[in-house]
Structures are given as C-alpha cells and as structure tokens.
C-alpha cells in the first residue's frame, strides 16, 4: 500500500477547485478565494486511512502547460471538477481533461479519476444522468461525487474517495466492461481460498470462514451475519454454496459483489493480509522477512515449522495412506507460482515402497531447504501462508539459527540437529551409490529404478538416542576447491574403490591439500568390498595412511547385497559431526585397534612363513 497520497484537482476556471480545498481545510466557505491554493498536506493521524495526503490545486492562469504535465505525472489520483449548472464544463471532462491525464496511456497504467460535481447548492436534482455515459466510456473513472463548497456538502467524502482510489484502486481488481474480476485478482483470491480451506474439501465451513474473517478483519462474523452472507451468495449463484459452506465460486462472487458495490477496500484488506501489493504480487517484505544469519551459524526448522508442515502434509494426503502421490503433491503446490521441487526429489529423500513421498521424506526435504537456502525456505513458507495460518508475525518464527560452530567446538557440545557431510572421491568410486544407500536402496534397487540423479541425500540417524538429520552432498571429482567454502562441512567422507588401485590416492591428495589442518572430522570409506581387493601402489596403505594422520581405520562398505544396505557408516558420520571435539580421544582408541590389527597381520605373516619352512623341511 502506498505510503502517501497525492491528489491533483483539475477543471475549467471558476468551477470551484480552490474553494473546495479551502472549505476542507477551513471547514467553512471562504469569502475570498485566491487564484490558486498552496499545496496542502494533511497529516496521517487525521485521515481515515492513516496515510499522509497532499492536495494540489491547478490554475490555468497561474501555471504553464509544462507545469501542468509535471503535476499530472506526480499525481496518484486526479479529481476533475465540473460545475453542475454548466454543461460546457461537463463536456470538457470528455473532450479535454481525461485525454490530457490519460491520453496514450495503457489501460492498466492509467491514473484513477474522481469526477467532482461542485455547486450542487445551485441546482435542484442531479447531474448524474449526464455523467453516467462518461463514466461508462472511461474505465479509469472510480466514482462521481456531487458536493457544495458553499454548504460544505460531501467535501470530506470527496477527498476520502480520492484517497480510497489510490489506496484501494479498482483497476487491478475488476474489469468494468466485462463486469468480472481481472485474472490476476481471481488467481490471488483463489490462492487465498485454497489456503483458508484447511481441510482441503473445496468448501469453506463456518469455522473456516470465521477464522478467515478474524484473521483479515480482527473479529469473527456473528452467526446471523454468516447466514446472511451465504444467503446472498446462494440467491445469486448456482454453485456458490454447498453443504452449508462457501465454494470457490461463491467466494469469488462475494468479492465481485464488494467491488461492484464500491466496497473494494474489503477485498484489498483480504489481499494485503495475505501479502499482496497493488500489482497483486506478493511483496518482498512478506516473502523475504528480515532474517540475519551470522557467519558460522546454520538454519534449522524448529518445532513450530515442523508442526505446520505436518498439518499441511496431512491436509493434502487425501487418501490418508501416509504419502503424497504426484497429484496430491501438485495440489500441495497449487498455492505456489511454480513447483519448487524437481524429479530429483525422489533420489534425495526416502520414499515409500511404491515410490511416493512419505511424511518422513517430506520433512527431510524441508529440512534440506532450510539448511541450504534459508531465503528460499522463507519464500516457500510464505506461499503456504505460514504467518496467517500459524498466527505468527512472519515465517522467521518457523526457523532457528544455531550457535556459531566455533563456540560449539570451544564448549565441546552442540545443539544442532542438522549436519552436512561432503562425500569426496575419484570418479567411479561409488559416491552416488553411497548416497542412495543412505536412503535404504541397494545397488540392485538403484539399477532397477534409477530416476533423476541428485547431488544430495538426506535422512535421519540416531546418535546417542537422539534423532539427527544428516545431509550427504556428492562433491564432483572435478571440483577445484578454489574457496574455503568448497571444503567446509560438518564431516568429510572420503570414498575410495577397494578394487581400483588408483582410487585411494585421489582421496589422500584431497585430504592432504584441504583437510589435514582443519578441524573438520574425516572418515575414510572403502567401497565395493564385495569385489576383489586390488594391490595398492607403493607407499602407505589406506590403513597406514589413516594411522599416520590419526584417523579411524577405513570403514568397509558395500551396497551389493539383496536387502537394504547397512547404516553403521552413516551413524559413524553423524556421530563424528555431532562430537567433532571428541575425535582425538576416539581416534586414540582407534589407533590402538589399528596397531592391534597391524600386529595381528604381521603375526599371521610370520606364522605362514614358519609353516611353509616346516612343511619344506618335512
């Protein structure tokens, strides 16, 4: 909504433009009238809409044509004043003033016009019979007010209507020629209806209507008023009322009726409550409320956000099978300008046996969005009507900003529930399969239904009895690590192919270049353990490399089996991310077991050699 209103008065000489302004300010008819009044500013606190209003006079004898065009360009609304007793001044509305104001301007961009019939005290009857054809000819004319500066009749009403034409314009809402809502208005109201239909049955019940009424106007409707509204809709539409509730067509009809009866401020109140601006676009203030994310911190959904999203999931799960089908998901996103999730969704989160989006997978995807792109998350929560439906100031109330990671490390504890693991490895090491295995899919299942590839996989993991979200991100083998953020994460997972002798050297190189001196916990994973192990090139073996760098021994992993892959490695990653400060202690224990394992290997080798010597001597 505009923060101030600029009203320009135009019209022929002697029609009473200056007298109207002075009568408004002085609350009496002026005995002496100057050729032109000075610009008047009415403070916000004395206007009905609480918006500062500037009133500008025009005098043909005092101003040039250029000055007039400059004033028209600055005006939000133009009052064309005519003398009700002189038809020549009425004719000039059509032939001079409206073409001067809006000539050559596209229909949607025209300045709203109020026709003002002054000197009504000098005429018996009304000029409306002559004015109506002009109003029908020019759609930018909002209304016509007959008044008298001498008797102070309708003076304040005139400026109220002028202010209203700016703050609650008809043009974006309604097409007077077609006598129907404009497409953009109908789309906005349809979205508002869908958000307000909290049980998703395409009907607004009395409870839903009252919640909507209270949300927009502060108070619920009295029971009789509610019945009267439905009766009006029922009498004027064939399908506006069903099962004693209001349908979408009934809701749209009701708003059309408000506008046709000059109560378009009612429809604008609804639209603005749901975040719309004068162009019927959702405002940036609504979609992107102020949100500060300090360096080193992350964002997570809190219990309010999860509760809201779970309610919406249940609302759109029409068949109550605990999953959203593609059609149900499409319905969920009907209040968005476009669907924000692509087909890779089904390779990012867990799905049901039928490949549908489960509640768990749904909440995981929102968790991923909140962590990776908080502004996009705020935008999407805005489309879902979070502030209105949750009775909160903004979507920021659905999110929590975590403590800076540096402080977590210093204090040796964290309240974070979402952790990012970067999965690194040479091409062909099995990174993609590792991500899909996290979602419970064996290699056979991955090959059977490959789907759209995703660089992310997110699931929950139990760490010391607490549920944590772990995000796996597959880092391309071609990544240059040009910035520190390219390596940054909560835990790094280095995957190498046990059957490929060159695979480990890539992981070792990346570790030494970008992670060896960092505080990021690192875990090495030997993949494809179902295949024969290749001989490693000269130098440290993977186990020796990990021992040298005080890392846990490589974790053996395969997703080749028939059943779902094991989850132990993911628990290990999540635990390392949750307790990065404990890694040195844990790795001390790990180093001990590594020494035991190496000692056992040496003992076994000596034993085999002795056995062969004894066998030869026999």
User: What is the per-residue pLDDT for 606?
Assistant: 38
Could you report the per-residue pLDDT of 296-308, keeping only the tens digit for each? 999 999 999 999 9
Could you report the per-residue pLDDT of 248-268, keeping only the tens digit for each? 999 999 999 999 988 889 999
Asked whether the beta carbons of 145 and 133 are under 8 A apart, the reply is: no
Asked whether the beta carbons of 489 and 524 are under 8 A apart, the reply is: no
Residue 386 CB partners (closer than 8 Å, separation 6+):
308, 392, 394, 395, 398
Residue 60 CB partners (closer than 8 Å, separation 6+):
13
Closest to 152 in 3D by CA, of 30, 56, 34, 44 = 30
Which of the pair, 391 or 562, is modelled with greater confidence?
Answer: 391
Closest to 313 in 3D by CA, of 264, 390, 373, 366 = 366
Quick one: average pLDDT of 385-393? 95
C-alpha to C-alpha distance for 329 and 341, rounded to whole angstroms: 10
Quick one: average pLDDT of 576-604? 52
Closest to 457 in 3D by CA, of 427, 430, 431, 425 = 431
Asked whether the beta carbons of 323 and 317 are under 8 A apart, the reply is: yes
Could you report the per-residue pLDDT of 409-441, keeping only the tens digit for each? 888 788 899 999 999 999 999 999 999 999 998
Residues listed for the chain:
618
Which of the pair, 389 or 529, is modelled with greater confidence?
Answer: 389
User: What is the per-residue pLDDT for 177?
Assistant: 79
Share of the chain above pLDDT 90, in %: 69
User: What is the per-residue pLDDT for 609?
Assistant: 40
Angle of helix 183-196 versus helix 206-217 axis, rounded to 10: 120
C-alpha to C-alpha distance for 56 and 61, rounded to whole angstroms: 15
User: What is the per-residue pLDDT for 1?
Assistant: 63
In the structure encoding, which two tokens stand for residue 351, read together?
A: 């799905």
Residue 143 pLDDT exceeds 80: yes
> 594 falls in which pLDDT band (50, 70, 90)?
very low
Residue 615 pLDDT exceeds 50: no
C-alpha to C-alpha distance for 521 and 261, rounded to whole angstroms: 68
Query: What are residue 351's phi and psi, to 5 degrees?
Result: -125, 170
What's the maximum distance between 2 C-alpha atoms anywhere in the chain? 139
Q: Kindly state the helix (H) or strand (E) to which residue 142 belongs, with its residue range.
A: strand 141-146
Quick one: average pLDDT of 9-24? 94
User: What is the per-residue pLDDT for 233?
Assistant: 96
Closest to 313 in 3D by CA, of 274, 353, 358 = 358
Residue 563 pLDDT exceeds 60: yes
> 148 falls in which pLDDT band (50, 70, 90)?
very high
Residue 496 pLDDT exceeds 90: yes
In the structure encoding, which two tokens stand for residue 250, read together?
A: 């009934």
User: What is the per-residue pLDDT for 125?
Assistant: 82
Across the chain, mean pLDDT equals 89
Closest to 504 in 3D by CA, of 528, 488, 474 = 528
DSSP 222: P
C-alpha to C-alpha distance for 607 and 618, rounded to whole angstroms: 17
Using alpha carbons, list the distances in angstroms from residue 575 to 372, 459, 583: 21, 14, 10
Chain centroid, CA 197 distance in Å: 19
Annotate 87-103 with b (16+ C-beta within 10 A) or e (fewer): eebbebbeeebbebbbe
Residue 511 CB partners (closer than 8 Å, separation 6+):
492, 494, 522, 549
In the structure encoding, which two tokens stand for residue 454, read together?
A: 């995703």
Quick one: average pLDDT of 357-377? 98
Could you report the per-residue pLDDT of 198-207, keeping only the tens digit for each? 999 999 999 9
């Amino acid at each position: 909504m505009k923060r101030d209103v600029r009203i320009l008065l135009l019209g022929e000489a002697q029609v009473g433009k200056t007298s109207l302004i002075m009568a408004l300010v002085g609350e009496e008819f002026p005995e002496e009238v100057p050729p032109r009044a000075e610009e008047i500013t009415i403070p916000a606190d004395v206007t009905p809409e609480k918006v500062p209003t500037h009133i500008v006079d025009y005098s043909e004898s005092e101003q040039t044509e250029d000055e007039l065009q400059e004033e028209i360009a600055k005006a939000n609304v133009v009052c064309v004043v005519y003398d009700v007793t002189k038809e020549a001044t009425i004719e000039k509305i059509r032939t001079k003033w409206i073409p001067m104001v809006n000539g050559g301007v596209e229909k949607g961009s025209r300045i709203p016009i109020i026709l003002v019939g002054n000197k009504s005290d000098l005429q018996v009857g009304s000029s409306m019979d002559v004015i109506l054809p002009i109003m029908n000819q020019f759609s930018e004319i909002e209304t016509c007010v007959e008044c008298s500066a001498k008797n102070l009749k309708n003076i304040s009403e005139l400026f109220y209507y002028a202010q209203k034409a700016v703050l609650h314009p008809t043009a974006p809402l309604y097409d007077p020629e077609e006598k129907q809502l404009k497409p953009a208005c109908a789309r906005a109201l349809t979205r508002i209806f869908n958000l307000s239909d909290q049980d998703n049955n395409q009907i607004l019940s009395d409870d839903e209507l009252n919640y909507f009424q209270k949300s927009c106007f502060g108070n619920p409707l009295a029971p009789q008023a509610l019945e009267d509204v439905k009766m009006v809709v029922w009498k004027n539409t064939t399908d506006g009322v069903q099962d004693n509730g209001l349908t979408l067509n009934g809701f749209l009809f009701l708003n059309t009726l408000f506008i046709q009866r000059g109560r378009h401020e009612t429809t604008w109140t609804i639209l603005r409550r749901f975040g719309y601006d004068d162009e019927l676009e959702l405002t940036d203030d609504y979609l992107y409320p102020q949100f500060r994310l300090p360096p080193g911190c992350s964002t997570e959904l809190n219990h309010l956000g999860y509760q809201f999203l779970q309610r919406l999931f249940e609302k759109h799960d029409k068949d109550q099978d605990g999953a959203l089908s593609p059609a149900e998901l499409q319905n969920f996103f009907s209040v968005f300008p476009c669907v924000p999730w692509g087909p890779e969704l089904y390779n990012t989160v867990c799905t049901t046996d039928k490949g549908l989006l489960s509640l768990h997978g749904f909440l995981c995807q929102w968790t991923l969005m909140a962590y990776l792109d908080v502004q996009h998350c705020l935008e999407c929560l805005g489309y879902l009507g979070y502030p209105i439906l949750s009775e909160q100031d903004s979507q920021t109330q659905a999110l929590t900003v975590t403590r800076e990671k540096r402080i977590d490390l210093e204090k040796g504890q964290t309240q974070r529930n979402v952790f990012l693991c970067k999965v690194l490895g040479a091409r062909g090491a099995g990174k993609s399969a590792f991500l899909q295995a996290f979602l419970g899919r064996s290699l056979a299942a991955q090959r059977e239904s490959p789907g759209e590839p995703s660089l992310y996989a997110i699931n929950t993991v139990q760490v010391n009895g607490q549920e944590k979200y772990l995000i796996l991100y597959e880092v391309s083998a071609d990544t240059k690590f040009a910035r520190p953020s390219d390596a940054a994460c909560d835990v790094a997972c280095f995957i190498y192919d046990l059957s490929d002798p060159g695979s480990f050297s890539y992981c070792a190189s990346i570790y030494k270049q970008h992670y060896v001196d960092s505080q990021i916990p690192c875990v090495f994973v030997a993949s494809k353990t179902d295949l024969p192990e290749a001989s490693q090139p000269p130098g440290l073996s993977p186990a020796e490399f990990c021992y040298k760098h005080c890392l846990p021994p490589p974790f053996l992993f395969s997703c080749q089996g028939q059943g779902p892959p094991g989850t132990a490695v993911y628990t290990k990653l999540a635990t390392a991310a949750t307790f990065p400060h404990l890694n040195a202690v844990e790795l001390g224990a790990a180093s001990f077991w590594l020494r035991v394992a190496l000692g056992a290997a040496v003992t076994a080798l000596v034993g085999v050699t002795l056995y062969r010597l004894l066998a030869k001597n026999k």
